[in-house]
Amino acid sequence: MKIAIDQLNEMDRAAFVRQLEGIYEHSLWVAEQAAGAGPFVSVEHLAKVMSEIVDSAGEEQKLRLIRAHPDLAARMSLTDYSAKEQQGAGLRQLGKEELEVFDEANRRYTAKFGFPFIIAVRGLDKTAILDALRRRTGSTLDNEKAEAIRQIHSIARLRLLDLIE
């Protein structure tokens, strides 16, 4: 059920944080820091503030945020947000052979960069996702860190748009 931005603005700090705790995967600190930054005039304003909080974080904290994301197509426990997003992209219905291909591509990517491949999967299918995974494995560490953060911001913005009117 969606909430209005005005409702969010009226929440006490604890309720605000509970409402937004899953926007940035397993990274409650983003919602905690955003709690004092309102009132927010729109979802886009809130998304901008939250992305600025992440962008101003130290490199280690950003790396922890990146590493908090699950491997795509992994058969593991996912947050409700991640499960829904991967389901929509067809990643939760992969056959055995497709799953092995994704697992191997994920392993290569993670071995090279030290963190999981992250992409905003909404609107993409499994073929486009796998193509991006393979292409980005050829990137540099600095470029991939920056791209992972950009993708995380896209994911967070979409989650906020789903949550708030």
Contact 152, 25 (CB under 8 A): yes
Structural contact between residues 132 and 119, judged by C-beta atoms closer than 8 angstroms:
yes
Helix, strand, coil percentages for the chain (3-state, nearest 5): 65, 0, 35
Q: How far is CA 71 from CA 38, 105, 120, in A?
A: 33, 10, 13
| Residue 69 annotated as catalytic | yes
* Residue linked to tokens 């004092």: 36
Give me the helix-helix angle, 141-163 and 96-113, nearest 10°: 120
How far apart are alpha carbons 155 and 81 in whole angstroms?
Answer: 10
Please identify every residue annotated as catalytic: 69
